[in-house]
Amino acid sequence: MKKINHLLILFVLILAFFNIFSSLDKGIVIFLKDASIILTILVPYMLNKLFKLNINETLIFIWIVFIFLAHFLGVICNLYNEWEMFDKVTHTFSGVLSGGVAILMLDRVKSKNILFNIIFILSFTSLCACLWEVFEFTCNALVGGDAQRVALTGVSDTMWDIIVAFFGSLFVSAFYFLKNQKIF
């Protein structure tokens, strides 16, 4: 899995560098937006080094795929504006990712109460989704824009983003339950 992750990172970085160099004449904001993927995709490795977290390779794989979807395809390639459902796909995947982070946290505290753990996974994911939407709202309020599509949808876009993230965490919770019941 580690080799696959390194190959995926190399692939994303090559795509990112081609995009960065092709957009040098578009201004500093576009350059920074495009270049930020370099740091973003390496976050799990930086966290492992700085805090000695030992994030497992499966979660790193999910992170790489998420950053490729959300940042490269969504932001850099503009799929958020080109394909209406792309936003829901990435928010669902964010529910899977944050559910995985919740499981890592539970592994650290060695909680054995399955019901508590599932409630924690669902709650942690919902909190992450909510905090992301608050972040988007704050950015919109401070610098303008409409990342939440309030002008077009009212609060529907924000609510659906939180709901599909929750569905992603339901999938993770079901997997966690079945794994802990030794069903597979």
Structure tokens at 78: 């503009």
CB 88 within 8 A of CB 167: no
| Lowest-pLDDT choice from 28-32, 72-76, 143-147, 173-177 | 143-147
- pLDDT tens, residue by residue, 102-161: 998 898 899 889 999 999 999 999 999 999 989 888 877 887 776 667 777 778 888 999
Average pLDDT, the chain: 89
- The b/e string for 140-174 (b: 16+ C-beta within 10 A; e otherwise) is eeeeeeeebbeeeeeeebbeebbbbbbebbbebbe
- E-strand spans in 61-130? none
For the full predicted model, state whether its pTM sits above 0.85. Answer: no
CB 87 within 8 A of CB 164: no
Give residue 65's pLDDT: 92
Give residue 155's pLDDT: 84
- Alpha helices by DSSP H, 110-155: 114-143, 150-153
Domain locations in the chain?
1-63, 84-184
